[in-house]
Amino acid sequence: MSSSTKIGIIICDRYKTCAGGKCFRSLKRREGAFSIYPREEDVEIVGYTTCGGCPGGNIEYAPEEMEKNGATVIHLATGLVVGYPPCPYISSFKALIEEKHRLNVVIGTHPIPQNYYLTHQALDTWNGEEWKELIAPTLSNEEIRLAYD
């Protein structure tokens, strides 16, 4: 019997109408931040919601609901790092969820689309060490980034 991981995804409220297509595609392909899960491992999404809008009011209780559905990992969606400006609260969200709910938190879902990557490179948005660490799980390579444009 294969192992199974249950995850919750929290997206930026700016993208509240997002149907999750890139996230679900990348989960199936194990690309971006989902590359941490072996292909033979079953991964089930047990919650999908927004942060609730700045400064993230939904972060206080959404992880608890996801945990009730069996979530052991929360993914803070790629939109939180590629939107402009990137979410200024992302590190705080991660810290709160890990401390209050004792859940693992992964920054990102699908690979960063190339068009966002180029914009942020031109604007020097991700120049700090913290940002290099935050985007690392979703950076991928140019070929994969282009597939998510």
Residues 82-137: pLDDT tens digits? 999 999 999 999 999 999 999 999 999 999 999 999 999 999 999 989 999 999 99
Distance of CA 104 to the CA centre of its chain: 12
pLDDT of residue 2: 54
Q: Which residue has the tokens 């590629």?
A: 82
User: Domain boundaries in the chain?
Assistant: 4-147
CB contact set of 8 (below 8 Å; sequence gap of 6+): 45, 46, 47, 48, 49, 62, 63, 66, 67, 69, 71, 73, 74, 75
pLDDT mean across residues, the chain: 95
Q: Report residue 54 as tokens.
A: 């700045």
Residues 32-55: pLDDT tens digits? 999 999 999 999 999 999 999 999
pLDDT of residue 118: 97
Whether residue 10 contacts residue 59, with contact meaning beta carbons closer than 8 Å, is answered with yes
pLDDT of residue 92: 97
Whether residue 116 contacts residue 81, with contact meaning beta carbons closer than 8 Å, is answered with no
Structure confidence at residue 1 as a pLDDT band (50, 70, 90): very low
CATH code for residues 4-147: 3.40.50
CA angle 94, 12, 68 (to 5 degrees): 60
By C-alpha distance, which of 33, 42, 63 is closest to 51? Answer: 63
Q: Report residue 70 as tokens.
A: 């069996």
| Cα separation, 129 vs 143, whole angstroms | 24
pLDDT at 56 > cutoff 60: yes
| Cα separation, 10 vs 109, whole angstroms | 10
| Cα separation, 149 vs 116, whole angstroms | 8
Task: Answer with the residue of higher pLDDT: 9 or 3.
Answer: 9
pLDDT of residue 63: 97
